[in-house]
């Protein structure tokens, strides 16, 4: 990979707004930041890109299919039944096509990397493919084709609930046990060919992984990310309390070595003490505000968590909508609706937009094991150029740029994106969009037939 020098009118650097500056990229990293000078490319506004820290790629094909009442009261659990029907038919080729479409959409929204919480491992009857990581290889192929940075998180999924019941129906495609999980990780590692790709591990949840297996999960891949769903739904909290004698987050903080390697996904059902305890560990809270709103999960206690020094990142989870600005806007607006207040997550002199953007950028970089999230020498060149002539940004400077994007605009203000120095979005579009979209349409048409 050669060198690129970008001249920027305004940039959000590690120590604040600056400009004009030049940013030199070499070997996928930011090699130097200097005063105004000659450059290969021009940008109006340059900010660090966010990583999307939680995705289930195949669910993009399900978006909008679960918006009918199936009984007197719909919930996350009734939504899950549609997912299982979907799993009865989806093929590896379709997964690759769906993931590629999803990753193009993420890149065009301003995400430079994704954490793929990958639990779709096996054939429809639960038997393994000839290559244990056949589905993971499809995810990696889609990431390679689109240029998005990938943290692949193969999921350990052992049981159907805390009572140890076996996996049934669509869940059979998820099934992994400790003795087979190591082979899955080994084959997954062979699928990752890019230097900036990361392999982590993901015990699915306290419901799906028995406590004896949870205690050993960190030993599979030392010093790499560990992600786990936790405390998403009230029913989940009730089940864990009955089985473990403690609420999920409280049990995890007491019994697991939670530290900066960990990312706890959702955590929408926490007490104040749990919220402060999670913040103190240095772990990242993986928030998915659009999905959490769509599924009726609940509202994360963001103000208390930030006040306690906690880090968070955002992900698109079920992928019903891909919108970087919308995720951050939904996060802040949910706090306002709950507290009947404004600017709930603002930090001191920084605006709300800058507070949530910087926290999410750095939190996702930590959770994905990716040295990015900031424009600084030595960091991975995960960057977003915004269109300064876009109406929501017109006449704005400093933090108001981010406020305009997040609260008054949308991701159409994204003009260029670099992922580890790869120039993957130019003038607002991914160069492979048409080809990728055609394959996605073919996959989607087949999946919708008779569903």
Could you give the residue numbers annotated as active site?
266, 317
Rounded Cα distance between 310 and 276, Å, is 8
Rounded Cα distance between 334 and 83, Å, is 26
- Cα separations in angstroms, 253 against 162, 286, 300, 329: 18, 16, 17, 29
Pairing of strands 21-26, 16-18: unpaired
Eight-state DSSP code of residue 316: -
* Under 8 Å between Cβ of 379 and 428: no
CA dihedral (238, 241, 247, 250) in degrees, to 10, reads: -160
Helix (H) or strand (E) holding 187: helix 178-191
442: CB partners within 8 A, 6+ apart: 97
Beta bridge partners of 426: 429
Helix (H) or strand (E) holding 324: helix 324-339
Pairing of strands 383-386, 41-48: antiparallel
* Under 8 Å between Cβ of 319 and 295: no
* Under 8 Å between Cβ of 356 and 303: no
199: CB partners within 8 A, 6+ apart: 151, 152, 154, 185, 188, 189, 192, 221, 224
**What are phi and psi for residue 373, nearest 5 degrees?**
90, 0
* Under 8 Å between Cβ of 355 and 345: yes
């Amino acid at each position: 990979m050669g060198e690129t020098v970008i001249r920027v009118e305004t940039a959000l650097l590690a120590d604040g707004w600056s400009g004009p500056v030049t940013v030199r990229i070499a070997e996928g990293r930011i090699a130097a930041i200097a005063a105004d000078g000659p450059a290969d490319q021009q940008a109006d506004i340059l900010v660090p890109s966010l990583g999307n820290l939680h995705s289930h790629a195949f669910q993009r094909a399900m978006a909008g299919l679960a918006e009918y009442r199936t009984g007197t009261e719909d919930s996350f659990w009734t939504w899950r039944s549609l997912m299982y029907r979907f799993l009865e038919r989806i093929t590896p080729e379709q997964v690759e096509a769906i993931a590629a479409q999803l990753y193009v959409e993420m890149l065009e929204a301003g995400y430079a990397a994704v954490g793929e919480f990958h639990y779709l491992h096996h054939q429809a009857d639960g038997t393994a493919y000839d290559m244990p990581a056949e589905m993971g290889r499809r995810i990696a192929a889609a990431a390679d084709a689109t240029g998005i940075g990938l943290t692949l998180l193969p999921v350990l999924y052992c049981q159907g609930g805390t009572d140890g019941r076996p996996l049934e129906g669509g869940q059979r495609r998820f099934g992994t046990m400790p003795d087979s999980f190591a082979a899955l990780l080994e084959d997954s590692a062979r699928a990752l060919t890019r230097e900036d790709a990361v392999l982590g591990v993901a015990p699915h949840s306290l419901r799906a992984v028995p406590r004896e297996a949870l205690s050993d999960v960190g030993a599979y891949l030392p010093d790499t990310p560990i992600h786990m769903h936790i405390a998403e739904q009230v029913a989940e909290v009730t089940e864990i309390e009955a089985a473990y004698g403690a609420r999920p987050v409280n049990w995890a903080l007491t019994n697991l070595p939670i530290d900066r390697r960990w990312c706890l996904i959702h955590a929408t059902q926490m007490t104040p003490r749990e919220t402060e305890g999670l913040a103190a560990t240095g772990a990242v809270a993986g928030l998915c505000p659009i999905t959490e709103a769509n599924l009726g999960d609940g509202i994360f206690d963001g103000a208390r968590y930030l006040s306690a020094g906690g880090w968070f990142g955002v992900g698109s989870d079920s992928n019903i909508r891909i919108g970087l600005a919308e995720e951050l806007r939904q996060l802040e607006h949910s706090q306002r609706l709950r507290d009947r207040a404004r600017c709930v997550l603002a930090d001191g002199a920084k605006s709300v937009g800058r507070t949530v953007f910087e926290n999410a950028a750095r939190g996702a970089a930590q959770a994905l094991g990716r040295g990015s999230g900031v424009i600084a020498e030595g960091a991975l060149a995960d960057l977003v150029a915004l269109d300064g002539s876009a109406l929501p940004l017109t006449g704005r400077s400093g933090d108001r740029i981010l406020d305009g994007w997040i609260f008054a605009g949308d991701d159409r203000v994204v003009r260029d994106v670099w992922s580890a120095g790869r120039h993957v979005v130019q003038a607002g579009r991914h160069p492979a969009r048409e080809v990728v979209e055609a394959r996605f349409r073919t996959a989607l048409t087949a999946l919708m037939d008779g569903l």
